[in-house]
Amino acid sequence: MDKFDRIYALHKILSAARHPVPRTRIEAELECKRGTVGRIIGYMQDFLGAPLEYDAGRNGWYYDKRAGDHPYELPGLWFNARELQALAVLNRFLNDLQPGLLEEYLRPFQKRIDDLLEDKQFGNGEIDRRIRLLGMGMRGGGDAFQKVAEGVLQRKRLAFEYHSRGKDEIVARTASPQRLVYYRDNWYLDAWCHLRDELRNFSLDRINKLQVLKPSSKRIDEKLLDDHFAAAYGIFAGRAEQTAVLHFSPYRARWVAEETWHPQQQGRFLETGCYELRIPYGHPQELIMDILKYGPDVEVVASEGLRRAVKERLTETLRRYETK
């Protein structure tokens, strides 16, 4: 433990104690000797204004409850080493996911956090150098993230224009947001679309001219949301009406056997050393893309429609490489 950890630990011990805490117990729990305990107590009294008192009869320390109307608390932001490090890592993680996401809210505390990090000798610069988050195909959340998050958390309806990639058209929408989803390095909104009168999934980077409305969101049962958005494979919503059966080569099986493709997947090793993976799916588009990246190390055994679709994509790919 360092000085900050010991101050934090001693504060927790004294706050929870009903009677004066013996010095020997403090030494044991703070993992230090008598002199260090004395210095910690002196620092808390002189610099942190802690109402620490000593009971000679019980040879113990306690917080003087008469010092104020409320129990004593450590001033300002106070974290032990692990909590502070976790906060710094989380802040780094969130900034990589969505730059500036918490900047507005953490700015008043940033100087205090930076000082504490420097004191513990793993400042923000060190964290930036030692932690890397590599996005693949990241599109970000555009300018919509903050307002979408507000609508989701406060259960307010949203009005926006949505630019569909598939149809390349812009349609005005009013939606009741249900969930924010971070999937494969991109942000999505699960919502009830009042225009289509059904559940829809929206990519945040395609949302424009967004407004948070006063009316409350339509509430959708959690089970219905799970059945609609989580039953099938990938980001495509709907019922999982079919099951894909994939056989991976013995070499690739070493990786695939430890991967989660779907919450309801089933897998087993075959006598040949291959690995069989069964996955429920509805719309096959995303599943086909994931199958194709394994090339010759995977074979689609079922369904017949999925097998045919993968074969057609492979055939089209080979045609591009044929010599004219």
Going by their DSSP bridges, the two strands 156-164 and 207-216 should be labelled as antiparallel
Do 58 and 126 lie in one domain? The reply is no
Do 246 and 224 lie in one domain? The reply is no
Using the structure block, give the residue that is written with the tokens 């495509």: 236
In a domain, 59, yes or no: yes
The answer to whether 208 touches 258, Cβ cutoff 8 Å, is no
pLDDT bucket at 263, cuts 50 / 70 / 90: confident
Q: Indicate whether 101 pLDDT > 60.
A: no
Q: Indicate whether 234 pLDDT > 60.
A: yes
In a domain, 173, yes or no: yes
Q: At 186, phi and psi to the nearest 5?
A: -140, 155
Nearest to 160 by CA among 172, 152, 142, 143: 172
Do 61 and 98 lie in one domain? The reply is no
- The residue segments making up the domain with residue 58 are 3-67
Do 262 and 308 lie in one domain? The reply is yes
In a domain, 94, yes or no: yes
Do 202 and 246 lie in one domain? The reply is no
pLDDT per residue as tens digits for the range 129-161: 666 666 666 666 557 888 898 899 899 999 999
In a domain, 237, yes or no: no
Find the CATH number of the domain harbouring 272. 3.30.70
Do 223 and 152 lie in one domain? The reply is yes
Q: What b/e readout covers 167-177, taking b as 16+ CB neighbours within 10 angstroms?
A: eeeeeebbbbb
Number of domains in the chain: 4
In a domain, 22, yes or no: yes
Going by their DSSP bridges, the two strands 21-22 and 275-281 should be labelled as unpaired
